[in-house]
Copies of this chain bind each other. A is one copy, B any other.
Amino acid sequence: MESLSLKKDFPVFDQNDIAYLDTAATSLTPRSVIGKLTDYYNNYSANVHRGVYRLSHEATELYNATREATARFINAEFEEIVFTRGASSALNLVAFGYGLSNLNPGDEIIISELEHHSNFLPWQQVAKKTGAKVVYVPLSEEGRIEVEAFASVLNENTKIVALTHVSNVMGYITPIKAITELAHSQNAVVCVDAAQSAPHLQIDVKEIDCDFLAFSSHKMLGPKGLGVLYGKKKRLENMEPVEYGGDMVETASKDGSTWQAPPLKFETGTPPIASVVAFFEALRYLQNIGFVALKEHEQRLKKYVLDAFSNIESVKVYNPTSETGMVTFNIEGVHPHDVVTVLDEDNIALRAGHHCAQPLMQWLGVVATLRASFYVYNTLEDCDRLIESVKKAVTFFKEAGL
């Protein structure tokens, strides 16, 4: 992949000489996506579903085209794609739409300490409300979810398995297909948090065979404020809505109401139409690059940084073996928040914090970490800038006595 030729697709770089290494939080947005957004507002701006006039009908067609493209992107069906406000909302929808009405005291929900808060707290709450129990897959020494460890906590009480596909801190890939197969052998339902995998890996829900899968548009070049919940048709049909109102209802009357079929059943109110319409271009952009080329590119950058970091004595990397483009590290003795300010002075955008993964921070025994994540627009030059700046930070804080 010619990295430098992609950078020009992202207008943020027109204004900012920045090394943007925070894609795991949110990605930058290519011109084509922004163009589609403005195109919708400039030419339609109309509502979907209900308008019989031309503008509204055409807006509906565009909206549905993205649903179709999203389905194809993960090898699902049109009706299996629900648009939500984000991955967080999608995961909450599974927990409260499916979990709440299907869990009983004594049932078990398997999650892990790798989970993002958005795939941890909803289950913690649902467990509290239903009397079910949250069970954690013991992580490997490296911090991975492995099949054997998963098998050791799976049993006939397991009703739901909710695991991250790629950890947003460690970047490890969960062996989710094997796990799903095992889970299904105990009739447990599998919910996959794909927020960090959908942007980087080819996903095939038919192959994984998971029941639910959630991800966010804004981490994969799409607009902010949009997420996707994939659910197997049967699952969605049997799932309760969690929001009620316009568009999700079939018959509304004082005596009782009936719902639309999925996916509309789960999309009450006027949706983020423009964002949905523009997400189409994000999917297209990614597909044009191709996940094989993308992975190779990310790996190259990651390896380059890791090699350099291994020569800086006080840099500790937490995930050297990770399969995805994410380097999580600290400068020993220096709080990551202090480090990030030094990097920011060099126009390097990097995340310092707990990355919405406090249980993992507790597991790692740190308060916070730095995390550099790579994507389509990053270059070896970005890596050089990061490496130089980290070296500078090491020297600076050593001189400051830390």
Q: Which residues of A contact B (CB under 8 A)?
A: 10-12, 14-16, 18, 20, 22, 25-29, 33-34, 37-38, 41-47, 50-56, 85-89, 91-92, 95-96, 113, 116-122, 124-125, 134, 136, 216, 218, 223-227, 242-247, 249, 251-254, 256-257, 268-275, 337, 340-341, 343-344, 347-353, 356, 358-359, 362
Contacts and interface: CB of A to CB of B under 8 A. Distances in A.
**Residue among A92, A224, A252 with the highest chain B CB neighbour number at 10 A:** A224
Nearest to A128: B256
B42 A117 contact: no
Given A26-B45, A253-B359, A358-B253, A340 B244 contact: no
Judged by DSSP, the binding face of A is: mixed
Q: How many copies of this protein are present in the complex?
A: 2
Contact of A246 (B16, B118, B226, B271): B118
A118 B225 contact: no
30 contacts: A15-B42, A20-B55, A25-B47, A28-B45, A34-B41, A34-B42, A50-B351, A52-B341, A52-B353, A54-B344, A54-B347, A55-B349, A85-B271, A86-B271, A92-B245, A95-B244, A96-B242, A118-B244, A121-B252, A121-B257, A122-B243, A218-B270, A224-B274, A225-B225, A225-B226, A247-B356, A253-B358, A253-B359, A253-B362, A254-B359
Given A53-B350, A122-B245, A225 B272 contact: yes
B41 A11 contact: yes
Contacts of A251: 358
Contact of A11 (B42, B118, B348): B42
A16 B53 CA distance: 13
A243 B353 CA distance: 22
A256 B124 CA distance: 8
A253 B254 CA distance: 43
B270 A225 contact: yes
A40 B223 CA distance: 11
Contact of A53 (B50, B116, B218, B344): B344
A142 to B, nearest CB: 20
Contacts of A352: 52
Interface core residue of A54, A242, A270, A353 (most chain B CB under 10 Å)? A270
Given A27-B45, A121-B252, A224-B274, 10 more contacts: A20-B55, A54-B349, A85-B271, A85-B272, A118-B268, A122-B245, A124-B257, A224-B273, A226-B272, A251-B358
Contacts of A351: 50-51
Contacts of A268: 88-89, 92, 118
Contacts of A243: 88-89, 92, 122
A246 B52 contact: no
Given A45-B29, A344-B52, A350-B53, A244 B16 contact: no
Contacts of A272: 85, 223-226, 272, 275
Contact of A25 (B18, B50, B124, B249): B50
Contacts of A244: 92, 95, 117-118, 121-122, 124-125
A249 to B, nearest CB: 5
Contacts of A91: 245
Nearest to A11: B42
Instruction: List 7 tightest A-B contacts by C-beta distance, closest first.
Output: A225-B272, A88-B269, A118-B245, A121-B244, A246-B356, A88-B245, A86-B269
Interface centre among A89, A274, A340, A351, by most chain B C-beta atoms within 10 angstroms, is A274
Nearest to A12: B45
Nearest to A251: B358
Nearest to A85: B85
